[in-house]
Structure 1
Amino acid sequence: MNRRHFIAAAACGPALWAFAAPAPPTGKTILILGDSLSAEYGLKRGSGWAALLAQRLAAQKIPAQVVNASISGDTTSGGRSRLGALLAQHKPAVVVIELGGNDALRGLPLSMTEDNLNQMTEAAQQAGAKVLLVGMQVPPNYGADYGNRFAALFGKVAQARKAAVVPFFLKGIADGPDPTRLFQADRIHPREEAHPAMLDNVWPELKKLLR
């Protein structure tokens, strides 16, 4: 299995859980809409990057709470269908969209993924939230053209919607010299030790949106 297999495959798996960390009533809400990379697949509760984010916010005395509405195996279509109710319920100040890997695994048209990302970003912005798109990559066996166009989708949507973007969520994890070290036995999902780095990849752009 080559190193980039982990990148796209890490988005699959059964549904897990939603996480919410308490915060002061006046704090902002950060809504995470993602797949297994954010849903603590194969990890103990409270050890994934979203839970670590809540801890970092508290440590830095940033008045914000994290609502993790991620579902393992979710696609951009699934996220799009769920987003409206989540926006109405939580009224987030920031929406983090970490979806797209499962679209690629299922061979869905890039145009569909792009449209769903556009629609989710627009819906969140119209609801008054800032948006952070979290980018992903696909294995090289998909072909260079497909892989390049898929990776570029996130920046393309972010630019069109004036949203923030993290180019590659698993930077330093799936593209390192020995990526197997940071993945679970299934060679698909990141180990607990990888999640601090995943948070570090997201944090610079997310922190800007909380100012």
Structure 2
Amino acid sequence: MNLLKHTLCKKVWLGGWLLVAVLSGCNSKTETNQTQDEKSAATADPSEKPASQQQKTILFFGNSLTAGYGLDPAEAFPALVGEKAKAAGYEYQVVNAGSSGETTAGGKSRISWVLRKPVDVFVLELGGNDGLRGIPINDSQKNLQAIIDTVRLKSPQAQIVLAGMRIPPNLGQDYSERFYKMYTDLADKNKTALIPFLLENVGGIRKLNQPDGIHPTAEGHKIVADNVWKVLEPVLQKQQL
């Protein structure tokens, strides 16, 4: 959720997925994280296998929280959720399409590019940067709806999981309450699974967050992974039926 001025665009291969990663803040730490992302990215292309043998895919689409800002990609919650799925006997390829600094408008712009291959589960984690910038909630909601609509169009078989977010009441209690309710409204309208608050038991707890007070530490990501898994596991169970 970086709110720095500069933007660096770089193409990244993730498990055969060409993603445009937008990293806010051109500092050496961010560039190092990007290099780690590139080195750790899987190179297997599921489309090379016969359709009957293709591994199912979970795509995590979000901002720096999903990207695992400040951490090794293996410490970010998408990778941890992938480990939980594997341990539970679910064979899924996990694709981390997190992009630091991403807003809902940015997500709307890149979603078609990211979904050039079909997915089976789509976890949508966006909106936090909108809230921190005070973007009108109606605009954020329309962008999220457009993303959901695109997923339904390009991967109609995909199960969508929406990650809810809360923001501090800096912009007023009414704004923060409406912002949180936006996720419930979207989940109800689109009949998607909902993670009520992605950062439950992590947000605002100093020892579980990096010095910026926004991005979770490795320990914080473990708790975030638990929050996601509680909602995601039933979705994976249904796909096995």
Q: TM-score band (shorter)?
A: 0.7 to 0.9
- Aligned mates of 1:87, 1:194 — CA distance in 2: 29
Amino acid at match of 1:154: Y
1:69 and 1:83, CA in 2 relative to 1: closer, same or farther beyond 3 A? same
Equivalent position of 1:145 in the other structure: 174
Instruction: Return the offset for 1:26.
Output: 3.0
Q: Secondary structure at the match of 2:232?
A: helix
State whether structure 2 residue 139 is matched by structure 1 residue 112: yes
Question: Per chain length, whose mean CA-contact separation is higher, i.e. which structure has more relative contact order (CA < 8 Å, sep 6+)?
Answer: 1
Query: Which secondary structure state, in structure 1, belongs to the residue aligned with residue 98 of structure 2?
Result: coil
Distance, in Å, in 2 between the alignment partners of 1:208 and 1:164 is 9
CA distance in 2, matches of 1:45, 1:120: 24
**Are residue 193 (structure 1) and residue 219 (structure 2) matched?**
yes
Amino acid in the other structure paired with 2:2: C
User: How many residue pairs end up in the alignment?
Assistant: 197
| Alignment partner of 1:102 is 2:129 | yes
Unaligned segments of structure 1, at least 5 residues: 1-10
Q: Distance in 2 between matches of 1:190 and 1:31?
A: 20
Judge conservation of contact 2:187–2:193 (CA < 8 Å) in 1: yes
Contact 2:134 2:171 in 1 (8 A): no
Residue pair 1:124, 1:130 contacting (<8 A) in 2 also: no
After superposition, the CA RMSD in angstroms is 1.9
Between the aligned partners of 1:187 and 1:204, the Cα distance in structure 2 is 25
* Structure 2: stretches of 5+ with no match in the other structure: 4-22, 25-33
Deviations 1:91-126 (A, max 9, x none): 101111100011112221111100011111122123
Deviation string 1:164-198 (CA, Å, 9 cap, x unpaired) is 111100101115xxx11111122221111111110
29-38 or 58-67: which moved more? 58-67
Structure with the larger strand share: 2
Q: Do the aligned partners of residues 169 and 180 (structure 1) sit closer, same or farther apart at CA in structure 2, a change above 3 Å counting?
A: same
Distance in 2 (alpha carbons) for counterparts of 1:20 and 1:31: 14
- Aligned-pair CA distance for 1:140: 1.6
**Are 1:57 and 2:57 matched, yes or no?**
no
One-letter amino acid of the counterpart of residue 34, structure 1: G
Instruction: Give 1:141's aligned amino acid.
Output: N
The structure 2 residue matched to 1:184, chosen from 210, 214, 235, is 210
Give the match's secondary structure for 1:43. coil
Q: How far apart are the structure 1 equivalents of 2:128 and 2:73?
A: 23
Q: Displacement of 1:34 after TM fit? A: 0.6
SS at match of 1:95: strand
Q: Do the aligned residues in 1 keep the contact of 2:67 with 2:73 (CA within 8 Å)?
A: no
Q: 1:103-157, CA deviations, whole angstroms, 9 ceiling, x for partnerless residues?
A: 1122211111000111111221232211111011111222110000000111101
For 1:122-133, what aligned pairs fall within 5 Å after superposition?
A: 122-126=149-153, 127-128=155-156, 129-133=158-162
- Computing the radius of gyration from Cα coordinates, the structure with the larger value is 2
**1:188 partner letter:** I
Q: Which residue of 1 aligns with 2:29?
A: none
% identical equivalent positions: 39
- TM-score, reference length from structure 1: 0.86
For 1:162, the equivalent position in structure 2 comes to 191
SS at match of 2:161: strand
User: In 1, Cα distance between the equivalents of 2:222 and 2:147?
Assistant: 27
